[in-house]
Structure 1
Amino acid sequence: MEGQILASWVVNAAAWARAIRRGEILSRERVTNGAILEAITAASPRTLLDLGCGEGWLAHQCARQGIEVFGIDAVAEFTTIAAESAPPGARFQALTYQQIAAGGLDEQFDVVVANFSLLGNGSLAELFQALPKLLAPGGCVLVQTLHPLLVCADYPYEDGWREGSWAGFSPAFRAPSPWYFRTMESWIRLFSRHDLVVREMREPLDPLSGQPGSVIFLATAQSAT
């Protein structure tokens, strides 16, 4: 499943970049883009690591606000696209979560953010083990993901792999990525098992539906308690 996730994003990198830059994903335009930027601004970072940066929109926005940003993604096509139009203060590198877990990133950041980029299972356990070491003193981790209660659909409310779908996207998208569903309790446990304490949880609301558009976790290292 982890391999299928990577393969899907490799073939859909160009289509995704076009969709983001044209504002085609309405939930992001209405709710989640602004929500993660607001959470980052509240943390007042000087440096930021964008995990799974994709085509780079978030890294670019943060760099324009004067933040030094390092965007990483396992898909080299994404980091190439992101670097082509990057503003000063933003740099990019193709790097997998497994490489980070193995010590491939020897830097620390005020904020480590993962914006809808944590789709796997085993790779996340490895990544989370490395996260506390990537935080500068007083730093925090921000994770924005699908709200578990709203994406459970007809499945039981329990952890497990789900089939992906490009429903509502352009015909240019193909081979949808599978993803690993986690309950709210499971997300909290994932942080706590790896010496991270969830300090805050936000549920930004969609103004049209009145339902949460996502959930955002803010966590700090256990040693910061």
Structure 2
Amino acid sequence: MDSRTQSLEEAILSAWHLNAQPWTSAVQEQRIESRRLATDRAIIEAVLACAPRQVIDIGCGEGWLARVLSAQGLDVMGVDAVSALVDQARALGRGRFECLSYAELAAGALDERADVAVCNFSLLGKASVEALLTAVPGMLNHGGVLIVQTLHPLMACGDAPYRDGWRDGSWAGCGEGFSTPAPWYFRTLGGWLDTFTASGLRVIRVDEPLHPETGRPASIIFVLAPAHA
């Protein structure tokens, strides 16, 4: 990993450590419109459509998705690198939670396998994401899948050139109390597909949840399986 990439990867974690409490409030108070109107429901339905018994929620944050899925009778392990978010998730119950970085997950630190691993708006970096995705097939039971929900590249590109690269972050639409935002690595649709292929994953389904008011994609959801399963 070059020094610039490492610095930006570290800045992502630093920003999330600083903003764990306002993020928890934003999620619990349902401040983020796209989540409230479209994307939360979309990821729940995508996971339940796979009829899993065990789920690993990678980048679980304060644990809202793990709680919803656990209430459906699923065995859910939530994992996040930010200790304050994991503490909040544990305090709210429903599900099991561990504080592990993506580097630790990539190194095999989690002794769990699942029918579904899910990354819900939690793939923000470059090298960290590539290492994590390469390790995901080893976290899945036979026939298991990875579900990734992320910003839709066409909607997230804005006025910047449509090419892979680092972008400045923003807490716009999340409410008050936030400080320095996290940088993030923008991937085009082709960039995502190349990343998945290089990680040993193949796309078996793509969904584009629509915002009910604008009719435009609120996100994109990839359902992936190990390429050699």
Q: TM-score range by the shorter chain?
A: over 0.9
Paired with 2:15 and 2:149, the residues of 1 have a C-alpha distance of 21
SS at match of 1:149: helix
Equivalent residue in structure 1 for 2:34, among 22, 27, 34: 27
1:73-88 matches, within 5 Å, as: 73-87=80-94
2:162 maps to 1:164: no
- Residue 191 of structure 1 and its aligned partner are, at CA, apart by 1.0
Structure 2: gaps (5+ residues):
1-7
How does the TM-score come out when normalised to structure 2? 0.95
1:92 maps to which of 92, 97, 113: 97
Deviations 1:30-60 (A, max 9, x none): 0000000010010010000000000000000
Cα deviation for residue 171 of structure 1 reads: 2.8
Give the counterpart letter for 1:180 in structure 2. Y
After TM superposition, the structure 1 stretch with the greater mean CA deviation from structure 2, 212-221 or 164-173, is 164-173
Task: Give CA-to-partner distance per residue, 1:185-210, whole Å, 9 cap, x none.
Answer: 11111111121110000000001000
Distance 2:46 2:189 in 1: 19
The one-letter amino acid of 2:62's match is E
One-letter code aligned to 2:87? T
What is the Cα deviation at residue 106 of structure 1?
2.4
Counting only pairs closer than 5 Å after superposition, residues 33-182 of structure 1 correspond to structure 2 as 33-87=40-94, 90-182=95-187
Give the whole-Å Cα distance in 2 for the aligned partners of 1:220 and 1:212.
Answer: 23
What is the CA-CA distance between 1:170 and the residue it aligns to?
2.5
Q: Match of 1:169, as an amino acid? A: C
Aligned-partner Cα distance in 1 for 2:48–2:72:
9
* d(CA) in 2 for partners of 1:171, 1:45: 37
1:214 aligns with 2:204: no
Q: Is the 8 A contact 2:113 2:141 kept in 1?
A: yes
How many angstroms apart in 2 are the aligned matches of 1:153 and 1:46? 39
1:223 is paired with a residue whose SS is: coil
Asked whether the 8 Å contact 2:33–2:173 carries over to 1, the reply is: no
**Which residue of structure 2 lines up, in the alignment, with residue 18 of structure 1?**
25
The share of aligned pairs that are identical, in percent, is: 47
Distance in 2 between residues matched to 1:169 and 1:106, nearest whole Å: 34
Secondary structure at the counterpart of residue 180 of structure 2: coil
How many pairs align? 222
Runs of 4 or more above 6 Å deviation: none
Relative to the length of structure 1, the TM-score reads 0.97
| Cα displacement string for residues 103-146 of structure 1 (whole angstroms, at most 9, x for unaligned residues) | 11122110000000000001011111101111100100000000
SS at match of 2:55: strand
CA RMSD in angstroms comes to 0.8
* In 2, Cα distance between equivalents of 1:119 and 1:33: 18
Alignment of 1:5 with 2:12, yes or no, is yes
Counterpart CA distance in 2 for 1:176 and 1:106 is 32
Residue in structure 1 matching 2:193, options 182, 185, 188 = 188
Q: Cα distance, 1:168 vs. partner?
A: 2.9
CA distance in 1, matches of 2:26, 2:176: 11
User: In structure 1, what residue type is equivalent to 2:52?
Assistant: P
